[in-house]
């Protein structure tokens, strides 16, 4: 059974870079046709999709964050990572990593996030 | 971006009761709609994908319906473990977007 675990600093200084890693256990990150995603939830607010990465390194980012986001994958460690630059208090949130699976119905590919980590809280403050 | 609007934002329900949550997309998303359950401190769970397909292992009291712009999540025979916040999410076009959530209390 695949499990995901986020890790990284819980406190980041404004204007610095937030760096998180998601470790995948119970399965290979490079096996299958999965994307690996990051999602965040500011306190008291809804969910925001940050972006995703394929095991090949191909990425897709939310345009609202694209100028500050970089994602990478390390297949040897079975991990993928998120870097978010120039952070402000607005980036304070619970950050989740998730596996994005797909279902091929003839003529269509349906994407959904079927395995999630428990999330890690990141606070941006001096 | 495709805007997703859920209603209500919160509701009160009783064990054994029936709950209906509505999600409306700002443009047609065909059946590219997923539902998730979130509880504090726990990993979010996928309940429904492709609008009406129940994820394996999810109790059959959860059901989803709809297509185009209007979708519904129904929980029948509400159980104590179902008190949580529910989110819809469109997977028609990136960036994926979520509804604002419905808290079932």
Are A114 and B49 inside 8 Å of each other by CB?
yes
Rounded distance, CA B7 to CA A42, Å? 20
CB B52 within 8 A of CB B64: yes
Tracing tokens 């409306």 back to the chain, one arrives at B24
Q: Which pairs with CB-CB distance under 8 Å and at least 24 residues apart come from A48-55?
A: A48/A93, A48/B98, A49/B89, A49/B94, A49/B95, A49/B96, A49/B97, A49/B98, A50/A82, A50/A84, A51/B95, A52/A100, A53/A80, A55/A29, A55/A30
Q: How much is the mean pLDDT over chain A? A: 95
Are A47 and B94 inside 8 Å of each other by CB?
no
DSSP code, position A76: T
**How confident is the model over A68-85, as a mean pLDDT?**
97
User: Smallest Cα–Cα separation from A111: which of B28, B54, B57, B34?
Assistant: B34
Cα of B28 to nearest chain A Cα, Å: 15
User: For residue range B66-103, what is the model confidence (pLDDT) as tens digits?
Assistant: 999 999 999 999 999 999 999 999 999 999 999 999 99
- Strands of the sheet containing A69-74, edge to edge, are A3-7, A18-25, A79-84, A69-74
Rounded distance, CA A110 to CA B32, Å? 6
| Strand-strand pairing, A3-7 and A18-25 | antiparallel
B22 confidence band (pLDDT: 50, 70, 90): very high
Q: For chain B, what is the radius of gyration of the CA atoms?
A: 13
CB B89 within 8 A of CB B100: no
Nearest residue in chain A measured CA to CA from B49: A112
Nearest residue in chain A measured CA to CA from B89: A112
Are A110 and B87 inside 8 Å of each other by CB?
no
User: For residue range A34-64, what is the model confidence (pLDDT) as tens digits?
Assistant: 999 999 999 989 999 999 999 999 999 999 9
Nearest residue in chain A measured CA to CA from B56: A114
Does residue A108 register a pLDDT over 90? no
Are A46 and B55 inside 8 Å of each other by CB?
no
Cα of B98 to nearest chain A Cα, Å: 6
Are B34 and A116 inside 8 Å of each other by CB?
no
Does residue A32 register a pLDDT over 90? no
A91 contact partners, CB below 8 Å, separation of at least 6: A12, A18, A40, A84, A122, A124
Chains A and B form CB pairs within 8 A to the count of 67
Count of positions (residues) in chain A: 126
∠ CA A94-A100-A104, nearest 5°, is 155
User: For residue range A62-74, what is the model confidence (pLDDT) as tens digits?
Assistant: 999 999 999 999 9
Does residue A31 register a pLDDT over 90? no
**Which of B45, B91, B99 is nearest residue A110 as measured by Cβ atoms?**
B91
């Amino acid at each position: 059974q695949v499990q995901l675990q986020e890790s990284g600093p819980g406190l980041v200084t404004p204007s610095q870079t937030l760096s998180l890693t998601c470790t995948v256990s119970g399965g290979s990150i490079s096996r299958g046709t999965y994307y690996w995603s990051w999602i965040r939830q500011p306190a008291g607010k809804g969910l925001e999709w940050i972006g995703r990465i394929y095991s090949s390194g191909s990425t897709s980012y939310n345009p609202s964050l694209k100028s500050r986001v970089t994602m990478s994958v390390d297949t040897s460690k079975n991990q993928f990572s998120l870097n978010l630059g120039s952070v402000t208090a607005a980036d304070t949130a619970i950050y989740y990593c998730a596996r994005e699976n797909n279902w091929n119905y003839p003529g269509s590919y349906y994407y959904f996030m079927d395995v999630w980590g428990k999330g890690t809280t990141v606070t941006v403050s001096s | 971006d495709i805007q997703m609007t859920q209603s209500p934002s919160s509701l009160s329900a009783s064990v054994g009761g029936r709950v209906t949550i509505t999600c409306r997309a700002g443009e047609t998303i065909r059946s590219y709609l997923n539902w998730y359950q979130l509880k504090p401190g726990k990993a979010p769970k996928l309940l429904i994908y492709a609008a009406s397909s129940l994820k394996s292992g999810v109790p059959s009291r959860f059901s989803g319906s709809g297509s185009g712009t209007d979708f519904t999540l129904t929980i029948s025979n509400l159980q104590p473990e179902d008190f949580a916040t529910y989110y819809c999410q469109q997977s028609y076009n990136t960036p994926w977007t979520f509804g604002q959530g419905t808290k079932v209390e």
